[in-house]
Structure 1
């Protein structure tokens, strides 16, 4: 998914090829889920005749500065991507736009033709991105709510160590918190924790100063390397856990060591148990493993943990089976789903599993019914 390096690669491509050029034509998709707060016609009219002055980024968000307001801003979501016709811009598998596809792609949400004939498009197949037209993008959410940018604004080492000492949440969850550090998503968090030899569920405040210093160093190194190669994952060092983190449980290894999968920060998390151990008061506690279902669920979440599925009401009504009757399909589905939830839900520090009261009631009802 697009994280800081992917968005930075897109920003730099626009900076290199599009600055100083006037927008000759634009096409904005009629998709209010992505095009947020403005009609396509108003969006198009606002861009026409304007010159692209600069391309900015903070965290996973990018915006174009034009010679006068309003400015288009892009929250990339799960599969948002920038394409410039005839220019190689880093791709990632979920962008799902191929060189052989029609141009502009049917997934294009904002298309612009510049005065010299250059064309660029922001696409989004999964429709979790947000494209807005704003007077000052950095002064309003989501950009105004972001913490320091992980590439350009990472806290000095002493301040970083001090800030971690005050955080009682699990370190993986903290790294994913965009209000704490912006730009780190799931794969970067897994990578830096692996390289720093820190367990994803280790409470941040319990980390030694040495571990904090190492983590700070790894964040800088991983992000700078990913940006250096323009987010081309084929050029990431072969020793990175990145190359194996999407393999099936039991078949994932890095440097000959087994990769395990757990849920941390609400996300499927890859780590190496042999190297990343819980320490201090958490030592010896066995974290709950991700089930195959939660491993697959990452395919349906955006980078901030938003689920693609639209779930129904939490208060579900399922008819109880009468004597001699089998469970209904709805009852079986509810029990199965609640069972999965109870085995995968963890607290912020990776502690005790939450009990599923509704599941207990269903099981009790079944027992009582069978006794009658």
Structure 2
């Protein structure tokens, strides 16, 4: 799933190429992806893109004074940019393309989604806060107002495991499965540590790891075209999606814990005092 750094990379890319362009056509190929009806998607035609923004993992294209095209790429969605849009017609139900946006200079982009589970979401709204997922977002971890003390206040009294807390978009916006693994590895912290049990030193270390990991990933994504962002993301990982490889810090073997629809990766030496965490799928079967 695209997370904050890749989404920010896409926002920057679109900001350089789409701002100032007039939308000439919007084609909805997957009607289930369009989550709004007022304003209608046809309202985007002939509107000029005036800005781009990121809200957590949502991408926001501002058009004119009071229109926004907002989309969330979900788990398997992506943005495919075209310097020259294909002339072929999109066949609904027979293409991975969910939405196509054409500009007055002949360029444009497709929103695509792989797999059979379709979760990509598109909204046409007058205010980004009209999108329920945006209205529920917690603070952005890189917002200057999200200080170490603000982070500590958010953690206080929460018995939630820290891995789940970092991924909760209602508490902190933009971090997902991959970067929570990377942040916890950098902080030398178990993914199962209860948030409420963290001491001041733990919070200092975790906050610094979060800031450094996200800033580095955003810098790596900046200026890259969409086609390069996924590979750049994977290349920067130390533990996530590196099961069986050597930890770059201590040399121990990176391990996984598998869940129904995802996994987490960690280094036992760096994060759990050498303890191997149980496979949750097997644990459920044994209950």
The TM-score bracket by the shorter chain reads 0.7 to 0.9
1:119 equivalent to 2:108? Answer yes
- RMSD of aligned Cα (Å): 3.0
> Which residue of 58, 69, 73 maps to 2:70?
73
Q: Separation in 2 of the partners of 1:81 and 1:121?
A: 8
| Secondary structure of the corresponding residue to residue 275 of structure 1 | helix
- 1:4: Cα distance to partner? 0.7
1:288 equivalent to 2:278? Answer yes
Query: 1:225 maps to what in 2?
Result: 216
Residues matched between the structures, number: 272
Q: Deviations over 1:275-318 (max 9, x none)?
A: 1127xxxxx98642245xxxxxxxxxxxxxxxxxxxxxxxxxxx
Q: Relative to 1, partners in 2 of residues 1:196 and 1:341: Cα closer, same or farther, differing over 3 Å?
A: closer
1:259 equivalent to 2:265? Answer no
Q: Separation in 2 of the partners of 1:112 and 1:141?
A: 23
Q: Separation in 2 of the partners of 1:136 and 1:258?
A: 47
Q: Relative to 1, partners in 2 of residues 1:81 and 1:272: Cα closer, same or farther, differing over 3 Å?
A: same
Tell which structure's C-alpha radius of gyration is larger: 1
Q: Separation in 2 of the partners of 1:36 and 1:153?
A: 32
- 1:262: Cα distance to partner? 2.0
Query: 1:241 maps to what in 2?
Result: 238
Q: Relative to 1, partners in 2 of residues 1:104 and 1:56: Cα closer, same or farther, differing over 3 Å?
A: farther
> Which residue of 157, 160, 185 maps to 2:151?
160
Q: Separation in 2 of the partners of 1:32 and 1:235?
A: 32
TM-score normalised to structure 2 length? 0.83
Query: 2:51 maps to what in 1?
Result: 54
Q: Is the 8 A contact 1:200 1:264 kept in 2?
A: no
| Secondary structure of the corresponding residue to residue 225 of structure 1 | helix
- 1:196: Cα distance to partner? 0.4
Q: Is the 8 A contact 2:268 2:275 kept in 1?
A: no
Q: Separation in 1 of the partners of 2:145 and 2:183?
A: 14
Q: Is the 8 A contact 1:172 1:264 kept in 2?
A: no
Q: Relative to 1, partners in 2 of residues 1:110 and 1:199: Cα closer, same or farther, differing over 3 Å?
A: same
Query: 2:129 maps to what in 1?
Result: 138
Q: Separation in 2 of the partners of 1:205 and 1:7?
A: 30
Q: Is the 8 A contact 1:192 1:218 kept in 2?
A: yes
Query: 1:361 maps to what in 2?
Result: none
Q: Is the 8 A contact 2:23 2:46 kept in 1?
A: yes
Q: Separation in 2 of the partners of 1:68 and 1:238?
A: 40
TM-score normalised to structure 1 length? 0.66
Q: Relative to 1, partners in 2 of residues 1:152 and 1:269: Cα closer, same or farther, differing over 3 Å?
A: same
> Which residue of 82, 98, 107 maps to 2:96?
107
Q: Is the 8 A contact 2:253 2:267 kept in 1?
A: yes
Gaps of 5+ in 2: 223-228
Q: Which runs of 4+ in 1 moved over 6 A?
A: 102-105, 236-239
1:276 equivalent to 2:254? Answer no
Q: Relative to 1, partners in 2 of residues 1:9 and 1:285: Cα closer, same or farther, differing over 3 Å?
A: closer
| Secondary structure of the corresponding residue to residue 78 of structure 1 | coil
Q: Relative to 1, partners in 2 of residues 1:342 and 1:197: Cα closer, same or farther, differing over 3 Å?
A: same
Q: Separation in 2 of the partners of 1:145 and 1:212?
A: 24
